[in-house]
Amino acid sequence: MSTTVVNTGTEGKIWGGGNEPLRASYGKMMMWFFILSDALTFSGFIAAYGFSRFKFMETWPIADEVFTHVPFLHGQDLPMIYVAFMTFVLIMSSVTMVLAVDAGHHLNKKKVTWYMFLTIIGGIIFVGSQAWEWATFIKGDYGAVQTKAGNLLQFVDAEGHRVAIRDFAVADSHAERTQHERKSGLWFVNEGSLPSYTVEEVVKGLEANDNVLVRTELLDEHGHKTVLSRSESIAQLKNNGKLVVEGANLHVNEYGAPIFADFFFFITGFHGFHVFSGIVLNIIIFFNVILGTYERRGSYEMVEKVGLYWHFVDLVWVFVFTFFYLV
């Protein structure tokens, strides 16, 4: 019995084993496996965000009203300007990383050092900007009143522009409020910092200012939040007002649905942690480049590996920016 061997002419084209499948080193393959698993994780988070937003569509905060701040330009309404700047910086850091990898292929130590330095600076600017954005989001800007049903009442003028509670509330100098603390004997009561005003003080201010109206979370058919009439505003605040909310945290959110803040802190924080980790890795690689470690090896593959991670982090931010800030 004879055996016929068919020659397909594919010798040398099919991976036959070894430690470099598809001409990729073990380190590169492991980095790709990590990127794939991390991409699935981020996909799950963004999908959960999409489902939650769809469920609470009528009360979801409008991003153009939330992210309007720019450092050193207080009181200016500049929606998405600073977020766009952060995105531009991160994308440009990806460009400098590409240039660093290309310089490594040409064994150009000077250029690798310079482009790695620019990449690190870009990452630091992004993380610092994100920390500033968090602080601004937590502090808040206008304030709102939470109703007994857990909904939010915001305040606008006759033209529909937001009005801060501090601009019209009438503070009662004789009122005395005590924060619940353990030292007061209230062992099982946990209360955050007291708001600047009480609901009663906000009601007095609303009654004294005819040009201030209440705006609810509900969106109308045009995608704008519903503004109540003067009489409805006073009645809604008097009958249903429960707590003054300033800023956003994991419990309350002056901008809208509390779950919006939960996703904001979790997704941007998780991504920020990735960027911070990438900065640390880049710094380690940067000093190894300066010391000539890769020049002696005759290969800058480590720069390429960390470059893959950095490009992945940039790509993830593009999706976060699109779905969280723009859509």
Tell whether 302 and 234 lie within a shared domain: no
15 occurs within a structural domain: no
Tell whether 149 and 135 lie within a shared domain: no
Crossing angle of the two packed helices 81-105 and 109-139, in degrees rounded to 10: 160
CA–CA separation, 241 vs 219, rounded Å? 20
Tell whether 125 and 149 lie within a shared domain: no
Tell whether 33 and 162 lie within a shared domain: no
pLDDT of 16 higher than 60: no
Q: Which residues pair with 253 in a beta bridge?
A: 248
Q: What mean pLDDT is reported for the chain?
A: 85
Tell whether 26 and 129 lie within a shared domain: yes
Tell whether 121 and 163 lie within a shared domain: no
The pLDDT value recorded for residue 155 is 92
32 occurs within a structural domain: yes
- Report the number of distinct structural domains present in the chain: 2
Residue where a domain stops, chosen among 181, 207, 241: 241
Q: What is the dihedral of CA 36, 38, 41, 43, to 10 degrees?
A: -60
Domain that holds residue 109: 22-140+259-326
Question: Who's near 48: CB < 8 A, 6+ residues apart?
Answer: 263
Q: How many residues does the chain have?
A: 327
The pLDDT value recorded for residue 38 is 95
251 occurs within a structural domain: no
DSSP letter for each residue of 81-140: HHHHHHHHHHHHHHHHHHHHHHHHHTT-HHHHHHHHHHHHHHHHHHHHHHHHHHHHHHH-
Tell me, what CATH number does 78's domain have? 1.20.120.80
Tell whether 100 and 68 lie within a shared domain: yes
Tell whether 301 and 206 lie within a shared domain: no
Tell whether 322 and 285 lie within a shared domain: yes
Has this prediction a pTM greater than 0.75?
yes
Percentage with pLDDT > 90 across the chain? 46
The three-state secondary structure class of 179 is coil
- Digit-coded pLDDT (tens) for 128-170: 999 999 999 998 889 899 888 888 899 998 888 889 998 888 8
11 occurs within a structural domain: no
Tell whether 316 and 212 lie within a shared domain: no
CB atoms within 10 A of CB 220: 10
Residue where a domain stops, chosen among 241, 275, 296: 241
The model's confidence at residue 6, banded by pLDDT at 50, 70 and 90, is: very low
pLDDT of 90 higher than 90: yes
Tell whether 150 and 211 lie within a shared domain: yes
- Digit-coded pLDDT (tens) for 117-127: 999 999 999 99
- Digit-coded pLDDT (tens) for 169-206: 887 654 555 554 555 554 544 445 667 788 888 988 89
Tell whether 136 and 267 lie within a shared domain: yes
Residue 169 dihedral angles phi and psi, to the nearest 5°: -65, 145
13 occurs within a structural domain: no
User: Which structure tokens are listed for 1?
Assistant: 């019995």
Nearest partner of 82 among 325, 261, 327, 277, judged by Cα: 325
Residue where a domain stops, chosen among 241, 273, 298: 241
CA–CA separation, 100 vs 97, rounded Å? 5
**Could you tell me where the DSSP H helices lie in the chain?**
26-55, 63-66, 81-105, 109-139, 199-208, 230-240, 258-291, 293-297, 301-320
- Digit-coded pLDDT (tens) for 221-271: 777 788 898 889 989 898 888 889 988 888 888 888 889 999 999 999 999
The pLDDT value recorded for residue 124 is 97
CA–CA separation, 97 vs 286, rounded Å? 12
Question: Who's near 51: CB < 8 A, 6+ residues apart?
Answer: none
CB 201 within 8 A of CB 241: no
199 occurs within a structural domain: yes
